[in-house]
Amino acid sequence: MSITADGYLNGTRPAPDELLPSAVPVRFVTEEGTAADAPSEYAASSDDRLGEAYRRMVVARRFDQQASALTRQGRLAVYPSSRGQEACQVAGALALRQQDWLFPTYRDTAAVVSRGVDPVEVLTLLRGDWHCGYDPVATRVAPLCTPLATQLLHAVGMADALRRRGEDAVVMAFVGDGGTSEGDFHEALNFAAVFGAPVVFLIQNNQYAISVPLAEQTAAPALAYKGVGYGVRSEQVDGNDLVAVLAVLDEAVEHARSGHGPFLVEAHTYRLDGHTNADDPGRYRDEEEVRRWAAADPLPRLQAWLRTRGTLTDQDIDAAQAEAEALAADLRARIELDGPPDVLEMFDHVYTHPTPQLNEQRRSLETEVEGTEA
């Protein structure tokens, strides 16, 4: 089905109460891996699909650990860990079809790997190279975006272009809680709503904008309410409950794909490690808080749920771990086969005819590099 959004653009817009998120985050599974008390109106995925999500989460966790280790060894310039946020990362990728697009932030490397992009290519930018490492058009994954929220307007523009071309495709745009305080976030929501763009905004609220706690950057009752003012249907979900995140994102993607305009989802989660390898989180959060969130770790939580239902065996767990170890070994072996990036390449694609100032900067850096290597 092609997306025209004519019904959305020319029809009656949703009533305000139809846009509001649930009063509490949607949840299917408790921290202990048992069924949540309150039933949800969202449809849970099949056991087979949840098993696939578990496999991807095991791989994502191991990829994150390996990337962090590579950084400590000096083989990556920087790495922003997403340990603890695997339910959001994997569900965001799993909810998409092949023709859809993903717009990640710098922290969403696990989501990009889960989308099927070569892990070595995913880490290229974080090695310090000037390009993102993979083909965005071929993979339908935009480059990892470091500036906060700037990718959201690009995502909405892409979604609007897909809609105008009649393509059956949806865009998933990731953003952190700190990004929702940026002007680009608000412009993107307004643009998406006015033009009925088929885009899903996934806010990973990991409680901190680097070191600034959520309460010190917003007075909103929940970040999901920020969508309502722009006419965007919104929802909030327990971001460490993979079953819930995937159920909500499935509905959000279908909402956008069927021509009903954008959808905003806030996933309440937690970054178990520092902002990056250069950060000391002990300076702004206490150990008790970290222990409390570690007890809600999404990976053992899903594993307990699937084992209780009898759909995850010891053999399944061993196979997932073996696959994850193989990926880590392959990553270690291939990450530096191309040698260190050529820093002078950053000047090659700025202008067709470089300016005198740029040529001067190039000569200056070239002299510095030669001095370092001498």
Active-site hit among 284, 307, 332, 362: 284
47-72 helix and 314-334 helix, angle to the nearest 10 degrees? 30
Q: Tokens 């327990």, residue?
A: 238
Q: What is the CA radius of gyration of the chain?
A: 21
How far is Cα 226 from Cα 205, in angstroms, rounded to an integer?
13
How far is Cα 87 from Cα 66, in angstroms, rounded to an integer?
18
Is 284 considered catalytic here?
Answer: yes
* Token pair listed for 146: 């470091």
Contact 35, 73 (CB under 8 A): no
Burial grade of 165 (CB within 10 A; 0-12, 13-18, 19 or more) = exposed
313 phi and psi, to 5 degrees?
Answer: -100, 170
In the three-class reduction of DSSP (H, G, I as helix; E, B as strand; rest coil), residue 100 is classed as coil
Q: Tokens 């965001």, residue?
A: 92
Residue 51 makes CB contacts below 8 A (sequence gap 6+) with 306, 311, 312, 316
Q: Residue 266: enclosing H or E segment and its boundaries? A: strand 263-268
Q: What letter does residue 11 receive in the DSSP assignment?
A: S
Is 275 considered catalytic here?
Answer: yes
How far is Cα 152 from Cα 162, in angstroms, rounded to an integer?
15
Contact 257, 170 (CB under 8 A): yes
Contact 184, 153 (CB under 8 A): yes
Shortest CA distance to 290 belongs to which of 174, 206, 222, 219?
206
Calculate the alpha carbon distances from 41 to 129, 247, 256, 310 in Å.
46, 10, 18, 24
Active-site hit among 56, 62, 275, 301: 275
Active-site hit among 83, 268, 271, 301: 271
* Token pair listed for 352: 């067709």
Residue positions annotated with a catalytic role: 271, 275, 284
